[in-house]
Structure 1
Amino acid sequence: MNMFRFFLLITPVLFVLSCDQDTSFEANDISPVPGPVNGLFAEQKPGETGIDIVNSLEITSELNYVNYAYIFNGGGVAMLDFDQDGLMDLYFVSTQKENKLYRNAGNWKFEDVTSTAGVAASGGLKSGVNVVDVNADGYPDIYLARTGLQKGEGAQPARSNELFINQQDGTFKEAAAQYGLDSDRATNHANFFDYDGDGDLDCYLLNIPTDFASVNKIRAQQTPNGIQRITTPVHAYQSDQLLRNDGTHFTDVTMTAGIYNYGYGLSSLVHDFNSDGRQDIYISNDYIDADKLYINQGNGTFTDQSQNYFRHTSLNSMGSDLADLNGDDLPDLVTVDMLADDMVRLKSLENGMRPDRYNTLTRLGYGHQMMRNQMQINNGNGFSEVGQLAGIAASDWSWGPLLVDFDNDGNTDVFISNGYRYDVTDMDFIAFTSDSLVASGLLKKADVEAYNSYLSHIPTAPQSNHMYRNLGDLKFENTTENWGLGGNNYSSSAIYGDLDNDGDADLVVATLDAPPLVYRNQAVEKGVGGSWFQISAVGSEENPGGYGLKATVVAGNRRFTRELQPVRGFLGSVDPVLQFGLGAVGQIDRIELNWADGKTQVIEDIAVNQRLTVNYQDAGNAKLQGAAAGAKLFSFPQDQRGLKFVHRENTFDDFDRQALIPRMLSREGPALVTGDLNGDGLDDVFLGGAAGTESSVFLQQANGTLKEAANQLPKADNRYEDVNALLLDFDGDGDNDLYVTSGGSAFPNGSDRYQDRLYRNDGGKLVRAALPTMPTSTGAVVALDYDADGDLDIIVGGRSVPGGYPNIPRSYLLENNNGEFSDVTERVVPEFANIGMVTSIAVGNIEGDDRPEIVIGGEWMPITIFTAGDNGYVRSSSSPAGSAGNWQSLLITDLDGDGQNEIVAGNEGTNSRYKPSPERKVRLYADDFDGNGMVDPILTVSDKDGRMVPMTTKAQFLKQLPGMKKKFVRTKDYAKASVKEIFTAEQLAEASTFELETVTSSVFRKSDDRWAATALPSVVQVSAVRAIRAADFNGDGQTDLLLVGNDYSLNVETGRMDGGNGVLLLNDGEGGWTTPPNRDHGLWASLDARRLAPISFADGRTGWIVANNNGPAGLFLEE
C-alpha cells in the first residue's frame, strides 16, 4: 500500500542466476473440463447467515490516517472448527471494536458466540489472526496480532498480541504472556512453522515500524565498498521477530537467527523453497524495502536470498499465496500490488515508477520492483514472473490473493480481494488539496473534526474483487461477474474453505464499513468442473494440526500438490483441510504424503469425491516417486572451455534524451559469430564489445579449448558499439572475413562512430577493408549472392535514428564487385532503404523458386518479404497480413520436412503491457509536437470507448512535452484526455503513425499463397525472443528449435522482461511441440540474452554460445 505525500518506489529482487541453477518452468497441458460456470458462487446475505459484524473505524486525535497509515488495512478472518463438531466456524477481527466468533450451526446458519467464548479482544488496534494449536491438545487456539503506534506516541491502548487458548468447552482463555507470545511491537500478522526441525511449531511475527513519515526514505550508508543500503532497523521494536518454541514457552531468537530487519511487512508464506527439507519464509514488504526470502540454513539461522530467486518483485507487496498454477507440480507464487486496471485510474493515481528513483534504488541494492501483481512461476530453484502474460497484473488496490481450484476443474484459480477506503494516492489530492489543507493549519488543530474534515476531501472509489479462472497453459480469464462475485466494496482479508462440507471451496471476504461477503460455492451442487478430493490431517503430538504437511494426489500423468499452511493471502487463516480439484480424474492412483519432519507415507487406489483423514502415526519412510525427470540434453562446463568474456555496457541513458521511448536503443550488443578465423579447420569465436571496450577473438585449440587471441582488431575500433557480426568470404580467397555492425544510440545521429566495419582475413590477421559511407546505427546483417554472380553481397538493416525514435533509419544492400562494395539499395531494392527499424533479416527460399527471398522484421513493423524480380527485389504481395509487431529475430527452416520452408519469428512476447487485440489497439504517434527540434513519441492504447489515450503517466508526458503543463494542471484532466484532446487534428494528421498488431512469437506457414501465423507455446511468450536456432537436439530426426532472449532495456513504467530462461522446443513431428523444462534439458539462458551461435569442437562435441548484454557469455555442450 501507499500513503499520501510519500511516493511509491520499487524494491524488487535481483535474480542472480548461476548457470547450473535449476530455474526452468514448463507450462504443462492442464486443459480444464470445458465451459465456464455462470453463477458459480451464491452470496449468502447477513440476514440469512447471521454474520453481521461491521468493521467500521472511529477516527480519533490520537489514531488517524495522518499518523498511522495502516489504519484502513482492515482486519483478518480465520476458519477453524473450535468446537470439533466437523463444521468450520469463522472468526473476524474488528480493527477497533469487538472481534466476533461465529459458530457454524449448519445449513449456512451461524451463531454469534463471542461473549460466551471470551474472544472479543476489545480496544486497541488489531490486524491479523492465526489458528494454531499452541498447547498441542488437539483443539485449535486463536492468536491475535495487535498493532498501532509506538508507546509514548499518544494515548494508544496496550498493543500486546493475544493468545486465546481453547478450553475445549466452547470458551477460550487469554494466555499470551504465559507462553511468551505477548509481543508489544506493532504486529501485522504471525506465521507458525517448525523452523528448527524439533517437531513443534515456532512463531514468526511480522512487525512494522510506526514511523510512516519515513516509509519511502532511502536508507543507505557509506562503506569501504561504496554506498550501500541499510537493512537493519533503527530500533529493535521495528524488526520482525522469530520466537522458538521451547515446549511451554517461546523464546525470542531474532538476533541469533539473522532475522533482525527493517520493512513494512504485510504478509508471509512458509515453504521449502530450496527443497532441502527445511522450512523457509517469504516476506512481502510494502513501500520501497524489498521483499525477503529467508532461506533456512539448518543451524538456527536464516539468510535473505530473495535476489537469488526472484528477478523482480512487486513494489508495494501486500498479500501473497503459493500453489501450483501450471501443472508442473511446483508451487508458484502470487503477490499483489496496486496497479489499476482502468486507464483513467492508472494515470490518476501515483504509481511510484519514476525512472530516477527506480535507478537509484536498484543501484543501492533495493532490487527491481514493478508496481503490479506478480505471478512467479517456479522453475525448480528460482522463479520467472508472468503476471502480464497470465492477465492478472492489474486489479487495483489489492490485498489478499488466494490460490485454489474453485471450480474443481483440475486447475488452480486466483482470487484477489480489492479496495481501500480512500484514494490517498490520488495525484490531484496530493498536489493540491492535501497541501492546501496542511497550509491552512487544519491538522494543527489535532482534533477529531479536523482529521475527519481532512479525510472527507480524499476521493473514494470502492473496487470489485477479482476472480481469475485458470484455463491452462498460463492463461487466465476474469470470471468475477460470471461467477457471481461482482460489486464494489472495500475488501481486505479473504479466506477459503468448505463451510458446508460438500466438496468445494467457499469464500469469505472481510470488508470495511459493511458486513463480510460470504459466498457459497456451488461447483459440486451444479455438477460442474469435475471430481474433487480433500485431505484432513491428524498430526504429531507436538504438531496436532499437521502444519507443514505436503500432500500429492497422483492420477495418471497428473500430480496435484497442496501444502498444509493455513496462513495465505492477507491477515487470515484458511481452512486446514486440503482442497483438490481433479477435473476429469475418475480414480486416484496414489497419494504421497511428506510430513513436516520428513516422514513419508503412500496410500494407493483411492476413490475421488471424498474427504480422507490421514494420520501422522501411520507415516514412516515410504519411497515417494516424485515427478519424472526428462533427458539431460545440455551440460554447462564449469571451465567454459576457456570462454571468458563479459560484455560491459558503456554508461548512457536513452531516456534522458527521449523520455517517452519504450526501450533503450543503446543496449543492442554484444555481437557474436562462430567459424574458422585462422584456417586450422576449427571453429573460433568473435564477441563484440560495447563502445569503449575491446572485442574478443577466441581461437580454438587442438584439444577443444578456447584461447583469447590478443590484438585481433585495431584498438582504435574500440570506439564503436559492436552489435552484430557476420563471417563471409567476401574476397574469394577461401578464408572467413569478418563484418561487424556498429550500432547503439549514444552518439549523435550521423556520427562516423556508426560506420560498419569490414575486416579482411589476411592469413589469420584481420585487416580493415573499405565500405561505403554508412553513418547509420545498424544491427541485423546477412550475406547472399543476390545477383548470382558468384560472390557474396551484404544486406544491412538500419536499427534506429539516435535521438529521433521512431524515425526510420537507412538500410543497405551492398553489392560485391571483386571484393569492393557499393551501395545499390536505391537501384536494386528501393523499398528496403527506409523499410523501418530493422532488428532481423533472414534469407532463404520460401516461395519455391530458384532464388532466395529476403525476410525482414523489426520494431513496429510487419513481417515483410522481398522476392527477386527481373530488375531487383520487390516487396511480395503475399507478406503476412496483420503482422505488425516488435519482431526481434527470424529464422527460415523446414519444420515439417515437406520441402516448404517456414518462417519462425521471435516477437516481444505476451508477458507485456501492450498485448494488442482487435478490441485493444496499440498505436504510436510521433512528431515534434512542441517544435523544440526533438521527436515526441506518444504511445497510446484504446480505452473502453475506443479512444486512443496515452499510456504514460502525466509526469513522464510532461518531461517530454513541458509546454503542456498549463494545459494539464490537474492529473485527472490528463488521465481522461484522448490524443485528439491533447493534440490538434492537424498535428495528428502530420504525425507518423505506427500500429502494433501482435506481440506473439509465431511460426508462419504458407498455404494457398497466404502466410498464416501459429503462436509458439506460452513458455516462449514469457519474454522477448532475441535469437533462434534450429537443430535436431534429441536425435529423433525432427527439426527442433532453441530460442533465447529477455529485454532489460524497457522503460521503467513497462518494466524489464527478464522471465526467459531459454526455451527448447522439441518437434513432435505432428505439427506440435513438447517443451521440456530447463531443469531437465540443462540449458540456461536466464540473463539479457542477445545472440546464440553453435560451435563444433575438436573432440566432436557441439556447443552453443549465448551472448548476454552487460553480462558474461555462456557455453553449453550438447550431451
Structure 2
Amino acid sequence: MNKPSILALAALTLLALASCTDTTKTADGGAGKGGTQNADSHVVATPFAAADSSADSFVALASSETGLEFDNNVSNPQVLLDQIAAQAGLASGDFDNDGDLDIYVAGIEQPNRLYRNEGGFRFTDVTAEAGADLALDGEYCAGAMFVDVDGDGKLDLYVFTRGSSNRLYMGDGSGGFTDETEARGADVGNTCVTVAALDIEGDGDLDLYVANNRMGRESMASQMDSDIQGSFRIDHNTGRYIMTGAAAEFYYFDELNKARVKPDDDQLLINDGSGHFDNGIADAGMDHIGWTLMALAGDYNEDGHTDLYLAGDMETPDYYFINNGHGFFTDQSRTMLRRTPYFSMGADHGDLDGDGLLDIFVGDMAAADYKDGKIQSGDMYQYRQELINFMPQQNMRNCLFLNRGFGWMSEVAELAGVKASEWTWSCRIADLNCSSTPELFATNGYTMRFSVDVDAMNEAAALSAAGASDEELQQHALSFGTLPRQDVLFTADTPLHYKKPADNWGIVGESISCGTSIQDYDGDGDLDIITNRTNDLLGVWRNDKQCGNRLTIDLRQPGSNWQAVGAKLKAYAGTKVIASEVTLARGYSSAESARVHIGTGEHTSLTRLEIIWPDGKLQVERDLPCGSHYVISRRDGLEDWTPPAQQGIYTREDFAWQRKEADTLAQEFEEEPLLPWQRSTLGGGMGIADFDLDGRMDIYFAGAAGQTGRLYMGAEGGFAASSLMEGSIPAEVEEMGVLCFDANGDDRPDMLVTAGGNEAGGDTTLYRNWLVLNTEEGMQSGWISTSEVSSGSACSADIDRDGDLDVFIAGRLKPHRYLSPVPSELLLNEGNLNFVDGAGSLPDGGISGCISDACFADVDNDGWQDLLTCDEYGPVRLYRNVDGRLMDGIDIAPHGIWTSLTVADTDNDGDLDIVAGNQGLNTKYKADNEHAMTLFAGEFNGDGRRQLVEAKQKGEQEFLPGRGRSCSGYAMPQTVAERFPKWHDFANASFNEIYGDPQEIQEHYYANELASMLLVNDGKGGFTAQQLPLAAQYSIAFGCAAGDFDNDGDIDLLQADNYYATQPETGRWNAGYGQLLDGNGSGGFSSVEPGRSGIYIFTDGRGVQAFDSNGDGLLELVLSVAYASPVVLRRNPQEQSGTGLAVNLVGKDGNRWAVGSRATLELDNGSVLLREQQAGSGYLSSSLAPLHFGIPAGSKPVKLTVRWADGTEASVSEFDGSGKVTVLQY
C-alpha cells in the first residue's frame, strides 16, 4: 500500500447508567466465600425489549426514522487533501441517566450534534439545549468521549479537536453541560485524534491519554530540507543525527538517519481526583515520537494494571506500553509484538478465542481485491529500508494479535483470514450475532481516490517536475474523486476461522465511514451500528439478526471511577469463557459507553461471572439468566484478586555463545531480486553425545560463516564451554547439520558437520563436509568426501547391516539459484574410515532436490532402516530399504514447503509416525489441491538471467502474478517495467500476457499443503495425514523434538519455529514462541500456550533435542537458534505425571550406541511403548543420549524388548527402581 504525500496524498487521515428493576441472585464475595443476598442491593435486572423485526440481517434505518439527521459534509479542498482532517468519530453514553444510550457526533466542517435517545431507536437533537457551545461550529473536530472526570456520578463530555485545543464540558446529569476546559487543565490536543481514559497510577480516578497527530504534514514535508539547514548535529558515539534549535519542534531524524516531519506530542493528563489535570507523559516513561491514530487501553499482561497500545501511522511503528505499576510504562513492542501494521489506523480489543485473554485487532489499508491490491501497491523500494530495519517490523496489512498469556502476542491476521479490510478507519471486535465468538468489523473509504492510485501519483510527480504549481497539483489530486467502500464484516463459526458473509449481513452500500459506535440502541440486547460518514448522513444499522442469547451489564462502584472503567469480566456459559474489559475509547476517534455486552449462543444463562474491579478486588456472581440488562453494584468485604502466576512448566537458561548470522540480505536479493526468502540463515543444528565419556551428555552447536561453533561439556548443574573443537573447522564454513555417530568403530562418538548456506562465494571447497574424529589425543578433522554441494541435514544408520554406520548427506541448495535441485550423497562405511560412494544403493538416478531434512527409521517394521526425506516445494518421501538398497521414493505427503522430520510412536500402536514441519498457515501464501502455491523460474527478461516468478493458481493452468508491479519491474525491466509502465496495465494483464504460457516456462514448482502435519503410520509404511493443532500453524516450523516430557506414557512434541529472513515486503514469520504440544497417546495433541508452558523463544528456532542431562528422570529440551543464544528448557519437577526410565543400549563394536535399534517397553497397565535409537533427527541435529520412557504414576515396567540393528533381540524383565537400565548386545 502507498500513503502518498501531496504528490502522494495519503490517507490517515460510552458510558451507561441503567435504570433497572428487580431480581434476586446468588453471589460470592470472592474465592471461598458465598451466600444469598437480596439482589436489590447489588444486582438489578431489566428484561430486554422485544425485537422489532423478524429479518435475519442488519437493517439500514433512514434519518427520518431515527431523527439522526446529521450530514458530515466537507467541501474545503484543503481539508479533503489533508491526511487526517476529513474523518471524524462519535461517542455514546447515557448523559441524562434515563437508561438509554445517547450519542454525540463530531463534525468536520459541520457543527457537532448531541442526540438524546428517546427509546425505540428514535433520537432528538438537543445540542442547543445543552447550555454550552457543544456544536463548536467552525472547529475541525475529530471525536469525543463521555467520561466522568470529577467523580460526581454525572457524565462529562471531552471533545477532540484538530487545530485547536480539546474541550471539556462538565455534565449535570440531566443533559446540561458547562465548558470548564481551561480551568481544569484540559486545554491540550493540538491535532488530537483520540483519547483513552484509564487509571494510570491506580489511585481510583480516570486519567486521559491524549493522542495527537499533525495537520499540514505534507506542506511541512515539502519545505523540510530548507527548514533543517544548519539545525542538526552528529552524535559521534552512535552515529545518529540529532535535530537542534527551533527545527527540533517540527522535525526529527529516525533510526535510519532520515529527516522526518515530527508529529505533535501526545499528552497524558493526570487527574488529581477532582477532575483537574496536569501533563505527566514524561514521568510515565512514554516520551516518544508517534503519528498516533488510536490509543487503546487494557490490561493485556493480566497484572492488574492498565496498559496502552498506540497505533502509529507510517514511519512510526506502534507502541505497546506495559504498565509496570504506579503509572510507569515500558514499551515492549519489539519483544512482545515484533510486528505491527505499517499504516496503523483504528484498533480494538476483545477475546477472540475464548481463552479469557484480551486480543487486539489493528487496521491498515490493504486492499482485498487482487486488482486493487496491485494498483495501490506502490513502489516497495521506497519503504524497503524501513521494512528491513524498523523494529517492530511494519507490515502493510491489518494485524490481529492473539494474546498467548501475560501480554505476549502472536500476530495471526493471515491465518485468521482478516489481513485486508480495504482503507480501514475503525476496527471493532463485537459479538454481533451473540454467538459468543465475536465478529470483526471495519469501516471503510477515503476522501481521496488519488491516494490509492500509483499511476495518478506518478503523474503528479511528472507534473511537479514540469513546474506545475501547488494549486495545479492539488486540482490534479482532487480530479480523481473519492474512494467510497463498503464496510467489512468478518464472522467465524469457530475461533480464528474468519470469513466474509456473502451478504455482509445486510450492511451494504459504499461510503466513506470513519468512526463507529456499536451498542444496543433499542434495548433488545443485540448490538446495533452507527457510523460517522464523510460527505454523507450517519450510517445507522439496526441489528435484526436471529441472534443467540445475551445480556448486558453496567457496573457500579463507589468513588470517582463509579462506572468501573478498566474492570475485567469473565463470563462462563457452559464450557465457554467470554472475557471483557470496561473500555471507553474503541475503533477510531470514537468512544463507547461503559456498558458490557455478552453473547452466550445457545446457553441461556451465565453459570458464573467474575468481576475484577479496577482496584483488584474479586466479585463473583452466579446463575445470571440471559435476556436482561443488569446493573451490578460492588459489594463490601471482597477478597483480593490474585493475578495469574507466571511460573510455567519450564524454566529457561541461555547459553553464553551466540550463533551470529552474516548479513547477506543485499547480496541475496541482488543475485535473485524476487527471492521469496533468504537462504543463508537456514543453519544452526547441534549434536549431543558423551564426547569425553564421563557419563554426561555434551553438546556441539554449529557456527555460522565467520565464526566457529561451540562445544559445551556436561557438568554438575549444567554445561561448561570447552575449547576441544577450536580449530577443527575453518571459521569461513557455514556449519549446518551436526551428526553424532561412531565413524571409525573406536567406541567414541565422532561428528559429521555439514557445510552449506550460500556465503562461500567462488570458493566451493567451503561446501565440503567435515568429519571430526574424537580421539584420545583430541579432535581431528578432515573432509569426509570431495562433494561441493551446499548441504544441510545428515543422518546415519547401518543400512546394509554390515555392523558399521553409513551416512546420508542431503543436498540443500544451489547458491543463488533458488529451487534448482542438487544431489545428495550416500556414503557407505567400509571400515577403517573408508567411506565410499553408495550410489549403487540408491534408486536409479540418485536422490536430488532441495532437501530440507532427512532421517533413517524403520517405518515398515521389517527390521531395515528406511530413509525419509522432505523437500522445499516438494513432497515428504519414503525410500524403503530392501536388503540394504533404497528403493524408488514413494510420496507419503503432498508437495509442501517442508522443513523437518521427526519420527515417534505418537499413538502407541507399535509403529513409527512422522511429524513433518511445514511453512504453517500464517503467511501470505495459501494452498490447497486446486490452488497450489506456485513458483516459476526461467529466463523472462531477454538478458539470459534466471528469474523467479511467484504465482497464485486459479485453475488447472490459470495463474495470477504473485508479486506486484514494483518488485517485478525492478527485477525485469524489459518484461515488466517497459511493457507495463502503468500499475493499472499490470493489474489488468493476465499472467500469460506478462510472462507467457505457463506450460512453456522452463521450471515449475508447486506446493499444495502448507500445514505442519502428523503422518500416522498404518504399520506397513502407509500414512494418513492430519494437521497438528492450530497453534502449531502460527509460524513456520523447523526442528521438532518428540518425547514423553511429562512422564505420563504419551509422546509430546516441542516445535521450534520462526524465520526472520523473508523478503522485506512480506514481513517476518515470527509469531511463534516454541510450541509445546501435549500428546494424548492416541495420535492427538493439544497446544500448551506460552503462558502455561513458560516457553517464550521468539527468535529463529532451528534444531531441537530432548534428553535427560542431569539424571532426574525428566527430559531437558535444547534448542539451537539463529541470531541468538541456544536455549535449554528444564521442566519443573512438580510438572510430571510419573517417573522416567533411561534405557542405555550398548551395541557391538562399530555401532556402540546401537543406532537403528528399537526398544519396546511393556507396562503393567497393558501399555506398550516404543522408542528407536536414531542418529540424525530434529532438524540438522542428532543425539546419542539414552532412550527415555515415561512411566505413568501407578504403573511399572514389566518387560523391555530390544531389537538390535542387525535384527537380533534381547529382553529385560527385572527393574531395580533406579530409573536406569543398560542392555548390552552380545
TM (normalized to structure 1)? Answer: 0.89
Change beyond 3 A, Cα 1:353–1:1107:
farther
Match of 2:284 among 236, 240, 257: 257
Q: CA RMSD in A?
A: 3.0
Aligned match of 2:981: 969
Letter aligned with residue 341 of structure 2: S
In 2, distance between residues paired with 1:1009 and 1:812?
24
In 1, distance between residues paired with 2:7 and 2:830?
65
Q: Give the 5 Å matches for 1:937-1086.
A: 937-942=948-953, 947-964=958-975, 965-985=977-997, 989-1007=1000-1018, 1011-1086=1023-1098
Aligned match of 2:746: 733
Letter aligned with residue 548 of structure 1: G
Aligned match of 1:372: 397
In 2, distance between residues paired with 1:997 and 1:583?
36
Report the CA distance between 1:310 and its aligned residue.
1.4
Report the CA distance between 1:943 and its aligned residue.
5.5
Q: Give the 5 Å matches for 1:504-903.
A: 504-523=526-545, 526=546, 528-529=547-548, 531-555=549-573, 557-616=575-634, 618-624=635-641, 632-637=648-653, 643-653=655-665, 654-701=668-715, 703-714=716-727, 717-748=730-761, 751-763=764-776, 765-820=778-833, 824=837, 826-830=839-843, 833=846, 835-869=848-882, 872-877=885-890, 879-880=891-892, 883-903=894-914
The answer to whether residue 184 in structure 2 is matched with residue 179 in structure 1 is yes
**SS of match in other structure, 2:182:** helix
Q: Could you report, residue by residue, the CA deviation over 1:239-278 in whole angstroms, capped at 9, with x for unpaired residues?
A: 0111122224222233443444322110001123444433
For structure 2, list consecutive stretches of 5 or more residues without a partner in the other structure: 11-53, 251-262, 1134-1226
Match of 2:294 among 262, 267, 276: 267
Letter aligned with residue 954 of structure 1: R
Change beyond 3 A, Cα 1:92–1:725:
same
Aligned match of 1:286: 313
The answer to whether residue 69 in structure 2 is matched with residue 44 in structure 1 is no
In 2, distance between residues paired with 1:299 and 1:606?
35
TM (normalized to structure 2)? Answer: 0.82
Report the CA distance between 1:788 and its aligned residue.
2.1
Identity of aligned residues (%): 27
Aligned match of 1:242: 268
Aligned match of 1:306: 333
Change beyond 3 A, Cα 1:358–1:366:
farther
Letter aligned with residue 724 of structure 1: G
Of 602-611 and 433-442, more deviation after overlay is shown by 433-442
In 2, distance between residues paired with 1:459 and 1:161?
31
**SS of match in other structure, 1:510:** strand
In 1, distance between residues paired with 2:867 and 2:55?
51
The answer to whether residue 455 in structure 2 is matched with residue 429 in structure 1 is yes
**SS of match in other structure, 1:82:** coil
Letter aligned with residue 250 of structure 1: F
Change beyond 3 A, Cα 1:84–1:378:
same
The answer to whether residue 152 in structure 2 is matched with residue 137 in structure 1 is yes
**SS of match in other structure, 1:179:** coil
Change beyond 3 A, Cα 1:844–1:927:
same
Report the CA distance between 1:726 and its aligned residue.
0.3
In 1, distance between residues paired with 2:75 and 2:1031?
50
Report the CA distance between 1:303 and its aligned residue.
3.5
In 2, distance between residues paired with 1:41 and 1:619?
42
Aligned match of 1:936: 947
The answer to whether residue 131 in structure 2 is matched with residue 120 in structure 1 is no
The answer to whether residue 1124 in structure 2 is matched with residue 1111 in structure 1 is yes
In 2, distance between residues paired with 1:203 and 1:56?
30
Letter aligned with residue 162 of structure 1: R
Change beyond 3 A, Cα 1:825–1:658:
farther
**SS of match in other structure, 2:928:** coil
**SS of match in other structure, 2:848:** coil
Q: Residues 161 and 191 of structure 2 are in contact (CA less than 8 Å); yes or no, is this contact kept in structure 1?
A: yes
Aligned match of 1:29: none
**SS of match in other structure, 1:433:** helix
Match of 2:413 among 347, 366, 387: 387
In 2, distance between residues paired with 1:435 and 1:136?
54
The answer to whether residue 165 in structure 2 is matched with residue 165 in structure 1 is no
Letter aligned with residue 668 of structure 1: L
**SS of match in other structure, 1:429:** helix
Aligned match of 1:401: 427
Report the CA distance between 1:734 and its aligned residue.
1.1
Aligned match of 2:72: 55
Letter aligned with residue 554 of structure 2: S
Match of 1:111 among 124, 128, 142: 124
**SS of match in other structure, 2:160:** strand
Of 239-248 and 114-123, more deviation after overlay is shown by 114-123
Report the CA distance between 1:417 and its aligned residue.
1.5
Q: Residues 1042 and 1106 of structure 2 are in contact (CA less than 8 Å); yes or no, is this contact kept in structure 1?
A: no
In 2, distance between residues paired with 1:419 and 1:901?
55
In 1, distance between residues paired with 2:188 and 2:806?
76
Structure label with greater radius of gyration: 2
Q: Residues 474 and 1018 of structure 1 are in contact (CA less than 8 Å); yes or no, is this contact kept in structure 2?
A: no
Change beyond 3 A, Cα 1:583–1:575:
same
Q: Give the 5 Å matches for 1:468-507.
A: 468-479=490-501, 481-507=503-529
Match of 2:479 among 457, 464, 467: 457
Change beyond 3 A, Cα 1:473–1:824:
farther
**SS of match in other structure, 1:903:** strand
Change beyond 3 A, Cα 1:626–1:162:
closer
Q: Could you report, residue by residue, the CA deviation over 1:771-829 in whole angstroms, capped at 9, with x for unpaired residues?
A: 22111111111112222222211111111111111211221112221144556454332
In 2, distance between residues paired with 1:1025 and 1:201?
45
In 2, distance between residues paired with 1:937 and 1:711?
44
Aligned match of 2:254: none
Match of 1:414 among 435, 440, 456: 440
Letter aligned with residue 840 of structure 2: R
Letter aligned with residue 147 of structure 1: R
Change beyond 3 A, Cα 1:872–1:936:
same
Number of residues paired by the alignment? Answer: 1060
Change beyond 3 A, Cα 1:659–1:436:
closer
Match of 1:192 among 192, 197, 213: 197
Change beyond 3 A, Cα 1:945–1:423:
farther
In 2, distance between residues paired with 1:931 and 1:442?
38
Letter aligned with residue 815 of structure 1: L
In 1, distance between residues paired with 2:824 and 2:1115?
34
Change beyond 3 A, Cα 1:43–1:843:
farther
Aligned match of 1:1089: 1101
Aligned match of 1:13: none
In 1, distance between residues paired with 2:556 and 2:458?
58
